[in-house]
Structure formats: structure tokens, C-alpha cells
């Protein structure tokens, strides 16, 4: 399977978990997606936010069998569910309840942030939040949270991305 990582740093051949951000959707980890389009949008967004010079997509491959292997502790979310919402909410607050080698599921990107904020403030119920989230196009993400999981990624190439 091909996976993409949007960044402003070229040639991340071996991701470094110590450089990953805290309080993200699935916790501190290295995030990828099967969507080239999503990775491109993320790369350009990060470049612009950080006023970096360039944006890149780093392409990786992973064996499909890895994602069903009992050797790894993998959490898989099939869409925006109550369980997914609570998991994302807790990770973004920094109250991690369980660690995984890898986590797969929808991206709670910036366009969803307002909905998540309304949920956090108690304005929206769980059901209303899930209903609202289902109106968005949800891209996938696969995050890697342990060095054991990172080793399953094989670097393929780096692609320069432009805003045009």
C-alpha cells in the first residue's frame, strides 16, 4: 500500500517520533494518508503556517499484511463514530487512555475543528456531533506511534508540491 506524508521537510526516510507533535487526533505519532490530495493540502498548509520555503509529499510503502498482523497493536476506526470522537477528543486534550503501534481512521482536520470545539464546549451532543461530522468529506489517516511500527514504512521518494 502507498502512503503519503505532507511536510515542509524533504526526504524523511526514517521518521523520528521525538519530532512529532503532541495532542493530535490519534496521539503523538507520525501521520500518513492513502490520499495524495490530502497529503498535498497538508504540506502546503504547514508550509504556509510555518513560512517554510517549500512543501513536499514523502511517499512510503507498507505491506498490506502488516495492517492485520497480530504482531502490532492496531486500532481501526470505520468512520466518524462515537468511539472515534472520544478517542480524538481525549488525544487532543492529552488524556491518552491507551497506546497503539498504529491507528487508522478519519482525519479530524481544520474544517472539522469548529464542530469538535462545539462538542468540547457541550453545545453539541455526541449524536449531533457525529451527524454534523458525517456531512464532511473525511479523508483517512494512518498514524505510527512506536519505533516498531515506524520500521514497517519503506521510503519511496519525495515529491515537491506547489500552491498552484
R_g of the chain computed on alpha carbons: 16
d(CA 43, CA 45): 5
Q: What is the pLDDT of residue 120?
A: 82
Q: 96 to each of 24, 86, 99, 109, 127, how far by Cα in Å?
A: 11, 10, 7, 19, 22
One digit per residue, the tens of pLDDT, for the chain of length 164 reads 999 999 998 878 999 999 998 888 899 999 999 999 999 998 998 899 999 999 999 999 999 999 999 999 999 998 888 898 889 888 888 887 788 999 999 886 666 777 878 888 889 998 888 888 776 666 789 999 999 999 999 999 999 998 76
Q: 41 to each of 18, 33, 37, 52, 83, how far by Cα in Å?
A: 24, 11, 6, 15, 27
d(CA 99, CA 156): 28
Q: What is the pLDDT of residue 110?
A: 61
pTM of the predicted model over 0.85: yes
d(CA 164, CA 57): 15
Q: What is the pLDDT of residue 160?
A: 94
- Pick from 20, 18, 5, 44: nearest CA to 142: 5
Q: What is the pLDDT of residue 89?
A: 84
CA 98 to chain centre: 17
Residue 115 DSSP label: H
Q: What is the pLDDT of residue 96?
A: 78
DSSP assignments along 118-156, one per residue:
HHHTTSS-HHHHHHHHTTSPPPEEEEE-SHHHHTT-EEE
Torsion region of 23: left, alpha or beta (phi above 0 gives left; psi -120 to 50 gives alpha): left
Amino acid at each position: 500500500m502507498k502512503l503519503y506524508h505532507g511536510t515542509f521537510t524533504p526526504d524523511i526516510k526514517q521518521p523520528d517520533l521525538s519530532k512529532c507533535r503532541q495532542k493530535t487526533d490519534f496521539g503523538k505519532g507520525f501521520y500518513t494518508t492513502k490520499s495524495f490530495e490530502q497529503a498535498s493540502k497538508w504540506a502546503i498548509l504547514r508550509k504556509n503556517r510555518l513560512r517554510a520555503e517549500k512543501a513536499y509529499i514523502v511517499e512510503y510503502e507498507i505491506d498490506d499484511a502488516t495492517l492485520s498482523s497480530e504482531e502490532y497493536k492496531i486500532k481501526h476506526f470505520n468512520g466518524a463514530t462515537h468511539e472515534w470522537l472520544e478517542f480524538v477528543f481525549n488525544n487532543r486534550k492529552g488524556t491518552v487512555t491507551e497506546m497503539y503501534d498504529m491507528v487508522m481512521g478519519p482525519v479530524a482536520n481544520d474544517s472539522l475543528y469548529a464542530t469538535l470545539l462545539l462538542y468540547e464546549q457541550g453545545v453539541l451532543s455526541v449524536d449531533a456531533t457525529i451527524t454534523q461530522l458525517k456531512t464532511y468529506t473525511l479523508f483517512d489517516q494512518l498514524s505510527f506511534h512506536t519505533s516498531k511500527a515506524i520500521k514497517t514504512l519503506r521510503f519511496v521518494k519525495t515529491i515537491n508540491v506547489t500552491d498552484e
